[in-house]
Amino acid sequence: MSKNLIVYYSRKGQNYWNGSIKELAKGNTEIVAEMIERAVGGDLFEVETVKDYAEDYYACIEEAKQELRVQARPEIKAYAENLADYDTIFLGYPNWWGTMPMAMCTLLEHYDFSGKKILPFCTNEGSGMGSSERDLKKLCAGARFVQGLSIHGAEATKAENKVAAWIKQSL
């Protein structure tokens, strides 16, 4: 049996939600990551930046746009330990400006993914996976990829069946 790691970045607080701003106690991507953990077991690892993004949603997305523009690598608080112990890695993130947050790049550039099975998932308000799967393949050279799962953020709390079906098809 393979050992699973569920790595995710998620935004709590103000989020875009079906055309308006909503305050979330738990980010959409974290909700989906926990569903994956319940479905397959494994270890959860949350990617956290050293410098917090702005609390205001619109200020946050401007920060994210600037990071993408300059291909920034924001400092993160910690790295997942013992990546070699895991066969299957689920990678989750919100879609920011057509791809994953740059903090995910900071994390992923730290490891060798040769021989790992990568299952990407993202939450979004309509932009799907964007270019994130292509970007992941560049960052995680040598890994085997499964078609990613896109979850509409406003529907994250009701996505258990969609997540389970994706996992069943992908593993």
Q: 150 CB contacts (<8 Å, ≥6 apart)?
A: 95, 121, 122, 123, 124, 128, 129
Residue 1 has pLDDT above 60, yes or no: no
For the four alpha carbons of 166, 152, 7 and 84, in that order, the dihedral sign comes to positive
Beta bridge partners of 93: 122
Q: What number of other Cβ atoms are within 10 A of residue 156's Cβ?
A: 22
How confident is the model over 51-87, as pLDDT tens digits?
A: 999 999 999 999 999 999 999 999 999 999 889 899 9
- pLDDT grade, residue 116 (50/70/90)? very high
The full length of the chain comes to: 171
**pLDDT (average), residues 5-30:** 96
| Cα separation, 35 vs 38, whole angstroms | 5
The pLDDT tens digits for 117-158 are 999 999 999 999 999 999 999 999 999 999 999 999 999 999
Contact between 116 and 141 (Cβ < 8 Å): no
Domains of the chain (ranges, CATH numbers): 4-170 (3.40.50.360)
pLDDT digits (tens, 9 = 90+) for 88-103: 999 999 999 999 999 9
CB 96 within 8 A of CB 128: no
pTM of the predicted model as reported, rounded to 2 decimal places: 0.96
**Three-class SS of residue 36?**
helix
pLDDT band at 2 (very low <50, low <70, confident <90, very high): low
Task: Please measure the distance between the N-terminal and C-terminal CA atoms of the chain and give it in whole angstroms.
Answer: 11
C-alpha to C-alpha distance for 109 and 105, rounded to whole angstroms = 6
